Each structure stands twice: as C-alpha cells, then as structure tokens.
A = this chain, B = another copy of it.
Amino acid sequence: MSIQVLLADDQALVRGALAALLSLEHDIEVVAEVGRGDEVLEQVRAKGVDVALLDIEMPGMSGIDTAALLREQAPTCRSLVVTTFGRAGYLRRALEAGASGFVVKDTPAGELAEAVRRVHAGLRVVDPTLATESLLDGASPLTDREREVLAEALSGAPVATIAARVHLSAGTVRNHLSSAIGKTGTTNRVEAARLAHDNGWL
C-alpha cells in the first residue's frame, strides 16, 4: 500500500509541480490537493490521507493551525510543514502544533520524498540548518498584547487606529509598542514589526 499524500498550498502551480515530483516515486500517491487551510480536514477524512504537506501561509487557515487541528481531529494523519520562509519561530510553533516535520522550500527536490517517507514511518524530520538556530533563539520575547499590537502596526497604521482595532487606549498601545521596541532592540515600531515578522513571532 503506497503512502497517501495531501498537498496544501495556495499556489496552484507549485501544488501541481509538487504533485508531479512526488508522483515519480512508486511508493507515494497524491490523492488530494487543496489551496486553502480550512479545506484540509475534510479532504483528509474523505481520502484517508497518511501525510499532509502543509504550506504555512495560506488563506482560510495557516498551516500551523491546520497541523494542530489534524492532531486533534485526525490523529492518524501526520503533518509535514513545507514553507517558503526559514523563520526560527515557525519551526518551533509548527512542532508545538504537532507537526511531524518541517522542511524549507529551498531544500533539494530529491529529499522531499524521503522526508515524506520518514514522517509516514513516525519519525521527525527537521531541516538541519534550522534545528540549531531555532531552538536557541526561536522563542518569542513578546507578550500576547505586544504581539497583537505589533501585528497591527505592520500595516503602518497610526496609534489611534491600532487602539480602536484592539479596543485599548492610545496610551496603552504606545506602552506596548515601546516595550516591544525595547525587546527587539530596534528604534521604532516599523523596524520592530518587521523583525518580529521575520522571526515568525507574529
């Protein structure tokens, strides 16, 4: 019995290309493709998927949240997160969410099939270049509120707008921003938001 695989990626071309790549392997069969995170569970149940390849940045539901959902609702299906960005915090959050593997998109193509087999066998697969870096500084120093406020600041909105969106006073928002700026070692909210985003903290 070959390994039943689901592909979740918002870019149809990448999805189709990965399907072609994996279909070259005799022991792997791509049985489902979806472009949104919130369509994964339904397909996993319907097709009896063994391994779900999840992109992180998808409409509907992120790959990380999807992995957590699968762990609860479909524990026989293992998750392999395949993402564009090798952000330290992503790996940590993916593993915490119950993903069995984490592969960056610039790994050699030949290794993907091997990663799928390992995950299916119950092993963990972690991109080696990230493993060391991540577990050291991957933890976010930000509190929940700081994270929330920074995420809003990413778009460049002024304090008043942010305050309205998170239902806080303008002064409190500025305090959170100031705290986040201090923790990230930056000099203003924009730099802080970028750094936090690049580290996968948002």
- Which residues of B are found within 8 Å of A104, using beta-carbon distances? 13
Instruction: Note all chain B residues with C-beta closer than 8 A to A105.
Output: 11-14
Contact check, A14 vs B12: say whether CB atoms are below 8 A apart. no
Contact check, A155 vs B14: say whether CB atoms are below 8 A apart.
no
How many copies of this chain does the complex contain? Answer: 2
A185 at the interface (CB under 8 A from B): no
Asked if residues A13 and B190 are in contact (CB atoms below 8 Å), the reply is no
Q: Give the CA-CA distance A136 to B188 in the complex, in Å.
A: 37
C-alpha spacing A21/B12, complex, angstroms: 12
Is the CB of A187 closer than 8 A to any CB of chain B? yes
Q: Does A1 make an interface contact (CB < 8 A)?
A: no
> How would residues 96 to 115 of chain A score, 1 for a CB under 8 Å from any chain B CB and 0 otherwise?
00000001111111101000
Point out residues on A near B: beta carbons under 8 Å: 10-21, 23-24, 35, 82, 84, 103-110, 112, 155-158, 186-191, 193-194
